[in-house]
Structure 1
Amino acid sequence: MDQIAGITATGKLGEKPKVTFKTPMTVQNNTYAVLQKGDGATIQKGDRVCAQGIAINVKDGSELMSSWEKNTPDCSILLSDSNLKQIEPYKAMIGQKLNTSIAFGINDSNSANTSYILVYTLVSKSKDLTRAEGDQVTDVPASLPKVTLGKNGKPSIDMNGQGSVDKQITQTLIKGKGTKITNSMTAVVKYTGWTTDGKQFDSSWDKNTTFDADVSSSGQIIQGWKDGLIGQTVGSQVLLVIPPDKGYGNKASGSIPANSTLVFVVDILAAY
């Protein structure tokens, strides 16, 4: 990535920086400049990073956006191998220390047709879980599907006579000790889904990926997931038996027939 010249920042590390550059300025995508070197822990591959952000119009220096005032950092930044291959700016974060401020150039690619500088201050980091971790729930009703876990945590299932339902069943199997999921959050999960005949139709375990499930009202996931995940905690494993009206309804979806009751086992690995 190329460097952006002529941009500086002042202010106390870990607080909103005062960013200065000569306007009007032109910027290119996938360009950056480290404005302030941090004093915290070193950011490494595999970390999830939370960053406070300011967007500044390069034509006139006006502030377009800031997360500092409401303390709403962007914690969607996962420095995984696949993301580092696809998202060029993430590479600039590896090896930096927390409280570093980095400017990234964004050139006219947004709907407002405004080129801007995005200044990220890297305020915290964490590691996502790789599987559910917590206390085994002991009072799971005997009538529910039976879940067994492989060595790596991948679930398999015995439907145990589970048929169609018209009301959702949400059963915590492992109770995690992490953050509680609210209706404005995104849960980072691994999951497997089956129809009640025991046929698996999807599994992130088989793809070795995670899925970011936005449980907010605008999130593009089925209602049964939103209802089942809100109120759960990071580290938990949840069994969801979802009726058709909270799944795909009277339409087929891929290999899932219309009017299917869906069964999922979901591990909650992180949330933001």
Structure 2
Amino acid sequence: MRRRSLLLAVPAGLLTLAGCGDDKSDKAKTDSSPTPSAAPTGKIVDGPLPAVTAGTKFGEKPTIAKGSGKPSTDLAVKTLIEGKGATVAKGDKLQFNYLGQIWDTAKVFDNSFDRGKAALYPIGVGQLIPGWDQALVGKKVGSRVELAVPPALGYGSQGNPQGGIKGTDTLVFVVDVVGTFSGKSSADGKEVAQDNIDLPKVGTNTDGNAPSIDVPKKDAPKKLVSSYVLEGDGAEVKATDTLLLQYKGVLWDGGKEFDSTYKREELAEFPLQQLIKGWQQGLAGKKVGSRVMLVVPPELGYGDKASEGIPANSTLVFSLDILAVL
């Protein structure tokens, strides 16, 4: 696994820091951790904050000056660039790039820019350091935010020795808010004509409700079908990517629904390589922000083995919204 973010919370207000390995998964194993205790909160002030001296545009790796004088004992927050996207809500999965350094020394202890992929974690629910949970809820996608986090809202009096952070260190972050997602998120691409009468038609609504899937009363195709319903303008999915998805699946025969993230109101995160072959082949090369219709023949799905709600030798139809690549 690739190293986990320095920002993850664990019980008793501690934060974990994984080693600097080069593993291939950025997904933190937070699900098995006990629920953190209630996080502290503090007053928010607008400074002082050190200057960003280079890399000042959204998406650029920033260079931050050393802190001058004593930092505030409160949480200092300043929006450097005001975004125009969706508003971050408590409990959302927040996608972000960030750089963190120590106030007194300007030593950079962690950043996502060098890793080449934005991080994604729940915000406002105790899985990130308290200063982040408090400061970033309510910000808009496309914003760049600078934070100076006092020890009480960061790593506490114990610090984080593995990260070279003392219990007295105030931490400075620049955070780019790349995306925010919830169980009501939808793809945001442009509609693509669905004019093949021999294939299912998928709804194009983007209100967070499950789209309709209308299966024709015809023989199922023998080969995999992968087509855009809504075509996004994001990066193309690679076979090695982990995806954040909203999806619904129905049987070709009868159109009965057998699975849906919409019903659970919980998005799915999957490494593409661990999914059925129909998803691996059908989603690779598709663009982030798209809704894709897949028709998966049995040999690329579950074959002659029955699964929950899926009879053996079933052709499957999916609507999949590719919300983000992790």
Place the TM-score, normalised by the shorter chain, in its bin.
Answer: 0.5 to 0.7
Counting only pairs closer than 5 Å after superposition, residues 109-258 of structure 1 correspond to structure 2 as 116-117=162-163, 121-128=174-181, 130-138=185-193, 140-148=195-203, 152=207, 153-197=209-253, 198-215=255-272, 217=273, 220-258=274-312
Does the C-alpha gap of structure 1 residues 16 and 203 become closer, same or farther in structure 2, counting only changes over 3 Å? same
Aligned length: 235
Q: Residues 49 and 75 of structure 1 are in contact (CA less than 8 Å); yes or no, is this contact kept in structure 2?
A: yes
> Letter of the aligned partner of 1:98 in structure 2?
V
- Distance (whole Å) between structure 2 residues aligned to residue 127 and residue 116 of structure 1: 30
Kindly state the Cα deviation for residue 164 of structure 1 after the two structures are TM-superposed: 4.5
Partner of 1:50: 96
Structure 1 stretches of 5 or more lacking a match? 4-9, 20-32, 56-62, 107-113
> Letter of the aligned partner of 2:188 in structure 1?
E
> Letter of the aligned partner of 1:226 in structure 2?
Q
Q: Percent identical across equivalent pairs?
A: 26
* Cα distance per residue 1:144-182 (max 9 Å; x no partner): 013345683422222102544442111212222333323
Q: Does structure 1 residue 269 correspond to structure 2 residue 323? A: yes
Q: Residues 192 and 200 of structure 1 are in contact (CA less than 8 Å); yes or no, is this contact kept in structure 2?
A: yes
* Cα distance per residue 1:48-105 (max 9 Å; x no partner): 33134689xxxxxxx998645x3424421343xxxx4362537734325624376855
- Distance (whole Å) between structure 2 residues aligned to residue 237 and residue 224 of structure 1: 16
Q: Residues 53 and 74 of structure 1 are in contact (CA less than 8 Å); yes or no, is this contact kept in structure 2?
A: no
**TM-score normalised over the length of structure 1:** 0.65
> Letter of the aligned partner of 2:291 in structure 1?
Q
Q: Does structure 1 residue 98 correspond to structure 2 residue 145? A: yes
* Cα distance per residue 1:122-162 (max 9 Å; x no partner): 23433448323333222532110133456834222221025
> Any idea what SS the aligned residue of 1:95 has?
helix
- Distance (whole Å) between structure 2 residues aligned to residue 149 and residue 90 of structure 1: 38
| 1:40 maps to which of 67, 80, 103 | 80
Does the C-alpha gap of structure 1 residues 144 and 67 become closer, same or farther in structure 2, counting only changes over 3 Å? same
- Distance (whole Å) between structure 1 residues aligned to residue 314 and residue 276 of structure 2: 13
- Distance (whole Å) between structure 2 residues aligned to residue 265 and residue 203 of structure 1: 10
Q: Residues 77 and 135 of structure 2 are in contact (CA less than 8 Å); yes or no, is this contact kept in structure 1?
A: no
Partner of 2:121: 77
- Distance (whole Å) between structure 2 residues aligned to residue 101 and residue 180 of structure 1: 35
- Distance (whole Å) between structure 2 residues aligned to residue 228 and residue 124 of structure 1: 29
> Letter of the aligned partner of 1:268 in structure 2?
I
Does the C-alpha gap of structure 1 residues 34 and 222 become closer, same or farther in structure 2, counting only changes over 3 Å? farther
Bigger mean CA deviation after superposition, 150-159 or 205-214: 150-159
The Cα RMSD (Å) is 4.1
Kindly state the Cα deviation for residue 12 of structure 1 after the two structures are TM-superposed: 5.0
Q: Residues 126 and 133 of structure 2 are in contact (CA less than 8 Å); yes or no, is this contact kept in structure 1?
A: no
- Distance (whole Å) between structure 2 residues aligned to residue 101 and residue 259 of structure 1: 57
> Letter of the aligned partner of 2:243 in structure 1?
A
Does the C-alpha gap of structure 1 residues 36 and 72 become closer, same or farther in structure 2, counting only changes over 3 Å? farther
Kindly state the Cα deviation for residue 264 of structure 1 after the two structures are TM-superposed: 0.3
**TM-score normalised over the length of structure 2:** 0.56
- Distance (whole Å) between structure 2 residues aligned to residue 65 and residue 88 of structure 1: 14
- Distance (whole Å) between structure 1 residues aligned to residue 284 and residue 251 of structure 2: 23
> Any idea what SS the aligned residue of 2:212 has?
strand
Q: Residues 234 and 270 of structure 1 are in contact (CA less than 8 Å); yes or no, is this contact kept in structure 2?
A: yes
The structure that is strand-richer by fraction is 1
- Distance (whole Å) between structure 2 residues aligned to residue 164 and residue 222 of structure 1: 18
